[in-house]
Structure 1
Amino acid sequence: MTISTNPPTIILIAGHWLGAWAWDEVLEHLGSDHSRVVAMTLPGLDPEDPNRTRRTLDEQAAAVLDLMAQHGVSEEQPAVLVAHSGANAPASLVLDRHPGLIRRMVWVDSGPLATGCAFDPDFPEGLDELPLPPVDVLANQASLEGLNAGILERFQTLAVPEPGPVLRQPVELTNDARRKVRTTLVCCSLSSTKVLELAHAGHAMFAEVAHLEHLDVLDLPTGHWPMWSRPRDLARAIQSEASRTN
């Protein structure tokens, strides 16, 4: 098989509560050929979807694959998949099911999940969704470094509650070829040194990192939402990693 040397399609997926809009500032800095850069909203995070609270990780993974197909992604022309935060669950499923479609995996303040992991397996069955917490609560869960009052207000205004099934569903992974895909960790709220330390210690959220065969790490010190706190620098990092051939 010959892989094309044409610039790859870059697919951007933001984490919980976020849609394609979360990448607006990054897109401004990702060069002029926006036809090859696609920010997507996962099923369950479209506020106009009447069935959004019932969407699952399988539906999210299928939507990523559908988007790839729409943009001509194939094993001859694989994509660069960029997953931020909680987008790691559907991205891990895509990586497991079709590793040949991904030229490089870029995790933004995130990383691949191990099989059997769920974001919140104990999220009550009686709850349909998880709204964005108040800012003071959110600050105890993830770093808000670099986010001013205006950014936080926009976040609160546009955030869509995360569907319960997405939070509860564990990822089931069976294909070890996912570990052979070239991977970059963009480390923001935790340094790369700390992430690798946790990975080799077997920490549940980072254990899979220790099994990756082609791993690069890049430090971009800031909070958990670098697409808002350092959009230019994040765009440069994504563009640089997407252009790599090894």
Structure 2
Amino acid sequence: MDILLIGGLWLDGSAWDHVVPALAALGHRPVPLTLPGQGDGDASATLDDQVAAVLAAVDAAPGEVLVVGHSAACTLAWLAADARPDRVAGAVLVGGFPAGDGKPYADFFEVRDGVMPFPGWEPFDGPDSVDLDDDAKRAFAAAAIPVPAGVATGVVRLTDERRFAVPVLVVCPEYTADQAKGWIEGGDVPELAGVEHLDYADLDSGHWPMLTRPVELARVIAGAARG
């Protein structure tokens, strides 16, 4: 199965470099995406541009696809399920939850000069970064790609309720499956409360398991691909 891999804020397709061979070894065709504005130098890119890039990758696949979104890009994976419910066989949401219709995509940090730069490690102290040493943190910060304002502040638009029939796997790295289930059942994630086939997987890592636990993450993703 083709598996689309969409990194979160400040990342390009290279974030999946160690997940790709692990998925290929398990018999899948991983397709890491570099999104407009997050790897091509286009600071004018918008959320619509990123959605269009994801849908183009879905449409280019020879059959059904599994869409994997990390962090903020969980919303992009969910937008793909909304726009292509007949082509998306499942969505894997790693370390994040989809924003609802009418909500901003990722308006989390200060926008300066038209972009939202990586804010440093202070907001991610604790479980998010527990498995990153100082060298890894320095390398991440040096490579972080500022997110265009048109992406970060873009408004999410969901239109097709058939998305709720797309199976979803919530991968829980810096929090537990029990915590995620409590948030969803408690109404904090309205989009996932309506999903018909919702599963959870714990993964012992920080917020960026593609960097620190790539083989383990690949196995979890492959499990979702098997249904």
Q: TM-score, normalised by structure 2?
A: 0.91
1:186–1:217 contact (8 Å) kept in structure 2: yes
Give the structure 2 partner of residue 213 of structure 1: 196
**Alpha carbons of structure 1 residues 194 and 124: separation in structure 2 relative to 1, 3 Å:** closer
The structural deviation recorded for 1:125 is 7.7
1:12–1:81 contact (8 Å) kept in structure 2: yes
1:38 aligns with 2:44: no
The structural deviation recorded for 1:154 is 2.0
**Alpha carbons of structure 1 residues 208 and 154: separation in structure 2 relative to 1, 3 Å:** same
The structural deviation recorded for 1:35 is 7.5
Secondary structure of 1:184's aligned partner: strand
Give the structure 1 partner of residue 64 of structure 2: 78
The structural deviation recorded for 1:88 is 2.1
Q: 5 Å matches for 1:56-135?
A: 56-72=46-62, 77-120=63-106, 127-135=113-121
Letter in 1 for 2:223: S
What count of residue pairs does the alignment treat as equivalent? Answer: 227
Give the structure 2 partner of residue 178 of structure 1: 163
Give the structure 1 partner of residue 142 of structure 2: 157
The structural deviation recorded for 1:158 is 1.4
The structural deviation recorded for 1:149 is 2.2
**Alpha carbons of structure 1 residues 18 and 99: separation in structure 2 relative to 1, 3 Å:** same
Give the structure 2 partner of residue 187 of structure 1: 172
2:43–2:115 contact (8 Å) kept in structure 1: yes
Distance 1:30 1:126 in 2: 37
Give the structure 2 partner of residue 166 of structure 1: 151
Long gaps (5+) in structure 1: 1-7
Query: In terms of mean alpha carbon deviation, does 8-17 or 131-140 score higher?
Result: 131-140
Letter in 1 for 2:23: L
1:58–1:90 contact (8 Å) kept in structure 2: no
Give the structure 1 partner of residue 211 of structure 2: 228
Secondary structure of 1:29's aligned partner: helix
Give the structure 2 partner of residue 19 of structure 1: 12
Secondary structure of 1:21's aligned partner: helix
Distance 1:146 1:124 in 2: 26
Distance 2:221 2:66 in 1: 9
Distance 2:137 2:166 in 1: 35
**Alpha carbons of structure 1 residues 157 and 104: separation in structure 2 relative to 1, 3 Å:** same
1:10 aligns with 2:3: yes
Q: TM-score, normalised by structure 1?
A: 0.85
Letter in 1 for 2:46: T
**Alpha carbons of structure 1 residues 181 and 56: separation in structure 2 relative to 1, 3 Å:** same
The structural deviation recorded for 1:240 is 1.5
2:132–2:212 contact (8 Å) kept in structure 1: yes
Letter in 2 for 1:94: A
1:198–1:207 contact (8 Å) kept in structure 2: no
Long gaps (5+) in structure 2: none
Letter in 2 for 1:208: E
2:70–2:94 contact (8 Å) kept in structure 1: yes
Give the structure 2 partner of residue 55 of structure 1: 45
RMSD across aligned positions (CA): 2.1
**Alpha carbons of structure 1 residues 197 and 242: separation in structure 2 relative to 1, 3 Å:** same
**Alpha carbons of structure 1 residues 208 and 239: separation in structure 2 relative to 1, 3 Å:** same
In our comparison, the structure showing a higher alpha carbon Rg is: 1
